[in-house]
Structure 1
């Protein structure tokens, strides 16, 4: 009888909790440790609550086949593009999530040179795209994981629905940018050594 394959149910993981953090890309000190799952990396700030759909992490590699006369199938594939995207819906209306979503900064309106308590966010017809560094933490029990993206920009924004019985949500797709040949990296304290 053939031997049973090497399986281990303890290696099935869930993301029962997690956080998303951001910092300006320029000058960010990238974390090199997985963290404790509760504390923001130095220089990063939390973006608050995320919808119960969680965070979607999508690495993409697009290729073109190289066909030759001597074969009916490709002999290799050539990489044409690569992407690393984070999709997340934030449920907190705070300064960080709204500035990311609208692509502009809040400024307090002054009245006769005095703060008025009213804040204004101007939407430009030619907006400047903000470059950020992003960290996503998640874990289950003692197992913690972290994705670090050194440089990223908002690629897509969803619509805000204003409804009597539903909270406002800020749906964003954040794409990694090249950072000296890297899109980012993943850290974990789960044992990934060969078994």
Structure 2
């Protein structure tokens, strides 16, 4: 067994970005993002939570009730985080609408803001994990609490939808600089 403590990663810092689904996709963990990607600012100290869900259906044979197969019937991937910087981009993502020139928004609780592309960078020194969601949507928002001593938070959950490129279907792409063997 080969153990190497240098392979232990910690999410020391990072960033969350949003763009239209037509924005140029990143190509590596460290490739520069285009000007279409807007930084969502400070994220709460809870960081970003990636959740993969699966539902299966157990198929049993008549003989001995033996389990013969268990296909995946539903699956999803989501990213949940709380933006704590109040700025145009965070308010627009949270409420699913645009911010008017006078700083106002019109709230329709059913609006999601539509499908967008998201990039999440997780950074540990020189090591980067980049997550690219080419086709995502804000599907849940958290409560807002206004209290002395705490930041006003904008909690959102982004669901990644299936994207087809050639013969591949995926909801997100993840790069790890520490696993890159291309020499790029």
C-alpha deviation, 1:61, in angstroms: 2.3
Give the alignment's TM-score, normalised by structure 1.
0.83
Q: How does 1:21-170 map to 2 (within 5 A)?
A: 21-25=17-21, 27-35=22-30, 41-42=33-34, 43-108=36-101, 118-124=102-108, 127=111, 129-170=113-154
Is the partner of 2:129 in helix, strand or coil?
strand
The separation in 1 between residues aligned to 2:4 and 2:29, in whole angstroms, is 23
Gaps spanning 5+ residues in structure 1: where? 109-117
Measured at CA, do residues 56 and 91 of structure 1 come closer, stay the same or move farther in structure 2, by a change above 3 Å? same
Q: How many residues align?
A: 176
The separation in 1 between residues aligned to 2:118 and 2:66, in whole angstroms, is 40
Judge conservation of contact 2:55–2:74 (CA < 8 Å) in 1: yes
Give the alignment's TM-score, normalised by structure 2.
0.88
C-alpha deviation, 1:184, in angstroms: 1.2
Q: Find out whether 1:189 has 2:181 as its counterpart.
A: no
The separation in 1 between residues aligned to 2:139 and 2:112, in whole angstroms, is 13
Question: Greater strand percent: which structure?
Answer: 1
User: How big is each residue's C-alpha offset from its partner over 1:23-81, in whole Å with a ceiling of 9 and x where there is no partner?
Assistant: 011x1211011117xxx611311100000111101122221111112344422211111
Is the partner of 1:96 in helix, strand or coil?
helix
C-alpha deviation, 1:126, in angstroms: 5.7
Is the partner of 2:19 in helix, strand or coil?
strand
Is the partner of 2:70 in helix, strand or coil?
strand
The separation in 1 between residues aligned to 2:157 and 2:118, in whole angstroms, is 12
Larger Rg: 1
Question: Which residue of structure 2 aligns with residue 171 of structure 1?
Answer: 155
Gaps spanning 5+ residues in structure 2: where? none
